[in-house]
A = this chain, B = another copy of it.
């Protein structure tokens, strides 16, 4: 047999995810990655193929982690609207670090999706996941009598998905004001 790997690809991928998340694709150089990942340049290429493939893997990993977390939050038994409200408020009340970093999917949508079909597919898959999870949650809320019967779960879910993307955008430029909070609360009145 041969020499064993000296690093954990999962750990390295997570480090790459954080670099790309913070700085974006173009602004993160291979030199940045070599330094931040702590492994040799050639090992990155041997393990992940190219900068772009590494980015796509990182994006995929981010989506999986995030989507499963959100799905879990929205699938707890009992009242469901509090979980939806908590999710939206969590976006609106993020601290400075989270605001500046934004959402990796949002960043990828803006920077890469228009000219990178693979990135666009991953972005759309992630948006679909969130929309589906929110729709399921709102359907359950309606069945449980938390949500008035005349509401449309799918349309409400889409509105929330789009709103959350917007919150991540304005958070990039706005210092802790109440814009995102006001927007979130106003949108949440549609659930009353």
State how many residues of chain A have any CB contact under 8 Å with chain B. Answer: 50
Residues of B within 8 A of A163 (CB): 159, 162-163, 166, 183, 187
Assembly CA distance A28 to B113 (angstroms): 16
Interface string of A134-175 (1 = CB under 8 A from B): 000000000000000000101110110111111111101110
Interface check A64, CB cutoff 8 A: no
Main secondary structure of the interface of A (DSSP, over half): helix
Once the chains bind, are B158 and A183 in contact (CB under 8 Å)? yes
State the oligomeric state as a number of copies: 2
Given contacts A102-B110, A111-B111, A131-B179, 13 further A-B contacts (CB under 8 A): A100-B114, A107-B110, A109-B170, A109-B172, A110-B169, A119-B173, A123-B173, A127-B179, A155-B182, A155-B186, A158-B178, A165-B170, A169-B169
Assembly CA distance A27 to B170 (angstroms): 22
Interface check A106, CB cutoff 8 A: yes
Interface check A26, CB cutoff 8 A: yes
Residues of B within 8 A of A109 (CB): 169-170, 172-173
Residues of B within 8 A of A101 (CB): 114
Interface residues in chain A, defined as those with a beta carbon under 8 Å from any beta carbon in chain B:
23-24, 26-27, 100-102, 106-107, 109-111, 113-115, 119-120, 123-124, 127, 131, 152, 154-156, 158-159, 161-170, 172-174, 178-180, 182-183, 185-187, 189-190
Assembly CA distance A24 to B124 (angstroms): 20
Once the chains bind, are A164 and B166 in contact (CB under 8 Å)? yes
A116 to chain B, nearest CB (A): 10
